[in-house]
Amino acid sequence: MAGRKMTGESIIPRDYADWLASLKSHISGARQRATLAVNQELVRLYHHIGTEILERQTRQGWGAKVIDRLAADLRAAFPEMKGFSSRNLKYMKFFAQMCPAGLIGQQPAAQLPWFHLVTLLTKVSADTEREWYAAQVIEHGWSRPTLDVHIKNQLHLRQGVAITNFERHLPTPQAQLAIEALKDPYLFDFLGLGDEAIERDIENALMRHITRFLLELGAGFAFLGRQFRLEVGGDEFFIDLLFYHTRLKCHVVVELKGVAFKPEHAGRLNFYLAAVDAQMKAPDDKPTIGLLLCKTKNRLVAEYALSGISKPIGVAEYQLVRALPEPLDTNLPSIEEIEAEFSREEDER
């Protein structure tokens, strides 16, 4: 029978699989939109409750004990709802205090999940930084643990500050995207290595912690291989680490150096980029870019070295050991305690 295929006793149209995939995509999209709508309404509700608490405590002199009484009464009135613990009510008050208009910068705070929002309010002090991280969450869909890691690692100070020659060798839109894809320094303290670690030990440790490594590299990096073999004119060469960047649509060659940056490092990487472009670059790929990760660098030396290079290359340092910044002290319960409380409430139902 034309246009149909037999499966057991049933007859399935040939376009059934495509139709099913389309329906699944539509349902998934609808579920995501519904979840987002519920979250936005919840955040607006929390802001309203926090504003009410704040107003009565500041203007009418109500004491802190009112929050405990309110928590008990709200939970009794709405036993099916989570989130009315004394701890979470304190976060609502803090939310209203820090964002009177319900905005983070020019963005509605309701675009963010509640615990992402609490993380930003309690762990980021400056409004401009908070706005930057909020935009990144919305753009990249970071989970709360990912957001927490990036805040602790002060990503806003490192993103887009590596030394590059991208503006000279890439078209304007891609150049800016490529600049923003790199950072300086890269933080490899999760490897558990000391400053004396040699190049091969660092590379081995990065492979053991590839998930954390990819998180540190940032969104869009897909790992293709280590010591990636290239053959040029009958000679073998091995790239330390090879990636493909799904947003930049290009290969990324990463060379790891256990010493300070030297101009000859850029020359060798330039050769690798030429070889990858010649042998691996697809017709619709953008030019391959390179990243030199060095223990230290002299900025002026790096800039001079890149000025004479024909391929797009970035130079950045990496750190194996570092001091963590002091967390903000908000006198609020930890987010983990609130999340655990939510989980307990769910289990009790």
Per-residue pLDDT tens digits for 309-334: 999 999 999 999 976 555 555 667 66
pTM above 0.85, yes or no: no
pLDDT digits (tens, 9 = 90+) for 93-143: 999 999 999 999 888 999 999 999 999 999 999 999 999 999 999 999 899
The burial of 346, by beta-carbon neighbours within 10 Å (0-12 exposed, 13-18 middle, 19 or more buried), is given as: exposed
CA–CA distance, 277 with 280 (Å, rounded to integer): 6
Q: How many angstroms separate the CA atoms of 334 and 340, rounded? A: 10
pLDDT in tens, 45-58: 999 999 999 999 88
Return d(Cα 175, Cα 90) in angstroms, integer.
45
Cα separations (Å) of 45 from 127, 162, 332, 336? 22, 42, 20, 22
pLDDT at 29: 84
Query: What's the whole-number mean pLDDT along residues 229-237?
Result: 96
> Is the pLDDT confidence value at 8 over 60?
no
pLDDT tens-digit profile of 180-195? 999 999 999 999 999 8
Q: Percent of the chain at pLDDT above 70?
A: 90
Q: What per-residue confidence (pLDDT) applies to 15?
A: 82
pLDDT, averaged across the chain = 90
pLDDT at 9: 46
pLDDT at 65: 85
| Segment 30-58 mean pLDDT | 90
Domain 157-319 belongs in CATH node 3.40.309.10: no
Q: Where are the domains of the chain?
A: 13-153, 157-319
Lookup: tokens for 87: 């701890």
φ/ψ (deg, to 5) at 155: -60, -35
Per-residue pLDDT, 63: 78
Mean pLDDT score, 7-17: 69
The pLDDT of residue 290 is: 98
Label residues 176-188 b or e (16+ Cβ within 10 Å = b). Answer: ebbbebbbbbbbb
Tokens of 88: 């979470």
Q: How many CB atoms lie within 10 A of CB 197?
A: 18
Query: For 276-298, what is the mean pLDDT?
Result: 97
d(C-alpha 87, C-alpha 342), whole Å: 11
What percent of the chain has a predicted confidence (pLDDT) above 90? 74
